[in-house]
A = this chain, B = another copy of it.
Amino acid sequence: MATKAGKAAKQVRDAEATRTAILDAAEAEFAQYGLNAAKTEEIAAKTGVTKAMIYYYFKSKEDLYVAVLERIFFGRYMDSIQPEELEQLSPEEALEKLIRRQIATDFHHPHLNPIQIHEALQNQGKYYKHVLSSDRAQQAFGIVTRILERGVAEGCFRKLHPQHTVMNIMGACNFYFTAYENMKYLWQGAPLLSPETVEQHTQEVVDLILAGVRNQNNR
């Protein structure tokens, strides 16, 4: 929709659209397999183009992978979480909103977490370094950490370690999605990924974490 496209989508050839389609297919492939086990042939097949197209738009599989990483982090993650907005709220309100947004993001962008995890496990974060070291990322996580620091300072949260707590909250939010495919064998019956159970998961995490950080002596 950015370029000149009279009727859009009706074009047979559309560089922008093809590039995006490749990124979309690559995102799905990398989410399932990570950089190493992902197959360019498979990405091309999912896109509906020839493998050569990948190398027309991207230098290499590695280059495509980095493009996917950057797009999903800056495009999807940061936009969904909106850390800046949380600064206006009280620590409790901000924390609850953060949790709800985090889980909603996991649910609506199911590739985000798998890609990050594969990157950590397979490549030790090598390709993620420049993303997470960027000013935008540092600032965003600074804001998140400061929500907890503010809570402690204001006395509504108990004395806790902000960075550890941020990680533990992320763990509680994410594990449900990460481990779903294994967990389904443990507690059968329940359809673990239905909107209803995700809503229940959200409420459980909110209750657990807010009770977990609240200062009992205060009030």
Contacts of A173 in B (CB 8 A): 171
Q: Count copies of this chain in the complex.
A: 2
Cross-interface CB contact of A160 among B37, B122, B174, B207, cutoff 8 Å = B207
Residue of B with least CB distance to A158: B211
Contacts of A124 in B (CB 8 A): 181
Residues 194-210 of chain A, each 1 if its beta carbon lies under 8 Å from chain B, else 0: 00000011001101110
Q: Is A33 touching B161 in the complex (CB atoms < 8 A)?
A: no
Contacts of A158 in B (CB 8 A): 207, 211
Residue of B with least CB distance to A211: B212
A60: Cβ under 8 A from any B Cβ? no
| A183 vs chain B, min Cβ distance (A) | 7
Q: Is B175 touching A167 in the complex (CB atoms < 8 A)?
A: yes
| A50 vs chain B, min Cβ distance (A) | 23
CA distance A179 to B124 in the complex (A): 9
Q: Is A174 touching B176 in the complex (CB atoms < 8 A)?
A: no
CA distance A187 to B165 in the complex (A): 13
A67: Cβ under 8 A from any B Cβ? no
Count A interface residues, CB 8 Å: 63
Contacts of A172 in B (CB 8 A): 168-169, 171-172, 175
Among the stretches A8-16, A82-90, A126-134, the one at the interface with B is A126-134
Residue of B with least CB distance to A131: B185
CA distance A173 to B164 in the complex (A): 11
Contacts of A181 in B (CB 8 A): 119-121, 123-125
A218: Cβ under 8 A from any B Cβ? no
Can you list 12 A-B pairs, Cβ within 8 angstroms, ordered by A?
A32-B121, A33-B122, A119-B181, A119-B182, A128-B182, A161-B204, A167-B176, A170-B179, A171-B173, A178-B178, A209-B212, A212-B212
Query: Which A-B residue pairs are the 9 nearest by beta carbons?
Result: A171-B175, A212-B212, A37-B37, A36-B37, A171-B171, A132-B185, A120-B181, A208-B212, A125-B181
